[in-house]
Amino acid sequence: MSAVRCQISISLDGFAAGPEQSPENPIGIGGMRLHEWALATRAWRSQHGQEGGEDGIDSEIVRRSTEGVGSYVMGRRMFGGGEGEWDLGWRGWWGEEPPFRVPVFVLTHHPREPLVMEGGTTFTFVTDGIESALAQAREAAGGLDVSVAGGASAIRQFLAAGLLDELTLHIAPVLLGSGERLLEDVGDPELVPVEAVGSPLATHVTYRVR
């Protein structure tokens, strides 16, 4: 069966977002520092329609993060905006041609018709919980993997429910001091490191979750 994967950047002190998160700044103060390693890469730039960028291990990691992914599940805040804005026709953070290019299932309490974006991305809004979202994502993935795209809250739910098969952490060499912790209130899953590679900008560790 296809695997349920997740990859996310965290600070060395364990935060997936900085303090004072808001609908306007969902990654909080300093949160962008967690993603600098990725933004510089050729793979990230290519996925977002830009030229240039750095080659090397970080770019390879970005490239692999989407390889073999047939669908995504994401939290409402990662889709973007407060739910109140949805009535105003808000179509998320990601522009008219989001980088996902496959079906995306958004966890929410606010029913909404699916959005068909350019470039292959569809956003389907799921109001009956993570297991329903996962079942729909599996079906849509057509035998490829399902990736839990984030944010931290969605990943915590999947981890606590024992629904993740593989977790890749991109550990940025940054101390945020406060913010939203990733690995809190997720129980004590059995994690087995299967790969660790690094660059001067981040350390990438993949765990098999049992």
Residue ranges binding a second copy (CB under 8 A): 12-14, 169, 171, 173-175, 177, 181, 183-184, 186-189, 191-205, 207
Of 141 and 171, which has the nearer Cβ to a second copy? 171
Of 14 and 81, which has the nearer Cβ to a second copy? 14
Of 89 and 187, which has the nearer Cβ to a second copy? 187
Cα separation, 134 vs 158, whole angstroms: 9
Query: What are the residues facing 74 on neighbouring strands?
Result: 106, 150
Q: Least distance to a second copy from the beta carbon of 128, Å?
A: 28
Q: Least distance to a second copy from the beta carbon of 175, Å?
A: 5
Q: Least distance to a second copy from the beta carbon of 57, Å?
A: 10
Q: Least distance to a second copy from the beta carbon of 198, Å?
A: 3
Please, are residues 164 and 209 in contact by the beta-carbon 8 Å criterion? yes
| Alpha carbon distances (Å) from 85 to 95, 110, 200 | 15, 11, 40
Residue 93, phi-psi category: left (phi > 0), alpha (psi -120 to 50), beta (remainder): alpha
Q: Which of 152, 207, 209 is nearest to 15 (CA)?
A: 152
Of 24 and 188, which has the nearer Cβ to a second copy? 188
